[in-house]
Amino acid sequence: MSAGTTMKFHKVVVANRGAVAARVIRALRQMGIASVAVYSEADRHLPYVAQADEAHAIGPADPRASYLNQEAILAVVQKTGADAVHPGYGFLSENHAFASEVQRRGAVFIGPSPRWIEAMGHKTRARELMARHGAPMCQSTGVLQGTPDEMLAQAASIGFPVLVKPAGGGGGIGMLAAHDRAQLAKAIEQARSMAQRSFANADIYVERLCTRPRHIEFQILADRHGAVRHLFERDCSIQRRHQKVLEESPAPQLPRALLDATAARFTDVLAQLPYDVIGTVETLYEEELGFSFLEMNTRLQVEHAVTEEITGVDLVQSQIRLAAGEALAAVIPHQPAIDGHAIEARVYAEDPVRFFPSPGTLGTFVPPAGPGIRVETGYAAGNEVTPYYDPMLAKVIAHAPTREAAIRKLSDALSAFEIQGVKTNIPFVQRILAFEDFAAGRVHTGQANDLLFSNPSKESKK
């Protein structure tokens, strides 16, 4: 696509479900673009199906037969005459083969070019690419190769403790820590098995284990003509089993100058490639060693609303416009300033103590509302939460002038969230929000685990 070339999408297939499908459909409506929803048999009664201009069934509940069924989705694109596909997040959003096939059939994939999805999708190759262009890195191996003993020797060469990770997947699946050779040998075997089962790719690698790092990510937007811009950072350190629970921006207790310089450094790296459309650079931060590149997510993030709240930039509409060929300077004429503080909680249908999924029918489902409160959800009262998909019910985002006020506002909103028919993780999230160290901004990736074994007296009395 040459510089200055743009197109106007007329109809977009939203190749996803639930909250993200509803979010994209809302953006398309605001832009005057027709939307096409797809749904499995299990989702036919979810609100997003009725919110779209048209909707088409694509298969049974099993995601492999519906939301991961490329031919079924491509058939809808052809049948409806859609000129673009928005993949949301999860499912096919980072599948370079799907993105390529969408383009081969004459539609636009609303995301980065397939070559960047492929390049960043393999973690070790992505690290090598980013390192060549000057991104900071922590110590790690390449893909482990050879016999089990040879793999063990390669992995142990960087010293203990280490983290064994799949090279071809993410989401915390298959990530195993090891503190000695015996644990490492077992972790390598288990991680390879999990990687093959989950991602159809048994490649694994090992990186130095950071015991209490911060997990900080930088939001990137870029056009098809070489311009790249960051929209600050999100702190995603509060996690359970490598899954994010709370996300916020700006990152607490870190110098603004350091964060801006790091964001600018990654922006320069991506401009050299040049990367395009949308992405998130995920990093780990340790006070002694600074920032190190972790991975690149080539899609809209679950937590994108946090950035939207502090910048006023609609990331979904921006993503659509950039994919259509608009120049970044037209989409975002000026670098926005940070406005206040935003924090998001992920509300899951799960047992708040044992953390098992809690499927069921939502007898009552009344999200909170009010100034500074935003809720993104794919459910309404009467809908069934099935065991086939991720159990996230909603994202609740609070925006306020200060972090303290945002935390208080989020806690009040979660208390007002009326949900009956399933168990939720809200009690656990409330404990995190009241935790003394969290309230003080002393956050790290082990904090949620610390809280599970904490003395209740350490929780704030606010």
Q: Which DSSP string do the residues of 174-185 spell out, in sequence order?
A: T-EEESSHHHHH
The angle formed by the CA atoms of residues 143, 148 and 152, to the nearest 5 degrees, is 65
Contact predicate 203/122, CB 8 Å: yes
Structure tokens at 109: 């994939």
Which CA distances in Å does 208 have to 120, 177, 292?
Answer: 20, 10, 11
The angle formed by the CA atoms of residues 198, 204 and 208, to the nearest 5 degrees, is 125
What's at 105, amino acid-wise?
A: R
Structure tokens at 121: 């999708």
Q: Is 181 a catalytic residue?
A: no
Helix (H) or strand (E) holding 428: helix 426-434
* CB-count burial class (<10 Å; 0-12, 13-18, 19+) for 196: middle
Which residues are bridge partners to 3 per DSSP?
none
**Set 23, 214, 299, 346: catalytic member:** 299
Identify the DSSP state of 435.
B
Q: Is 29 helix (H, G, I), strand (E, B) or coil?
A: helix
How would you classify residue 18: left for phi > 0, otherwise alpha for psi between -120 and 50, otherwise beta?
Answer: left
Which one, of 115, 45, 65, 56, lies nearest residue 382 by Cα?
45
Which one, of 302, 303, 317, lies nearest residue 27 by Cα?
317
Residues whose CB falls within 8 Å of the CB of residue 197, separated by 6 or more in sequence, listed in order: none
- The whole-angstrom separation of Cα 355 and Cα 399 is 28
Residues whose CB falls within 8 Å of the CB of residue 310, separated by 6 or more in sequence, listed in order: 232, 249, 250, 338, 339, 340, 341, 342, 399
Q: Is 385 helix (H, G, I), strand (E, B) or coil?
A: strand
CA dihedral 404, 407, 410, 411 (to 10 degrees): -110
Which CA distances in Å does 325 have to 9, 315, 459?
Answer: 11, 15, 50
- The whole-angstrom separation of Cα 389 and Cα 59 is 14
- Residues labelled as active-site residues: 299
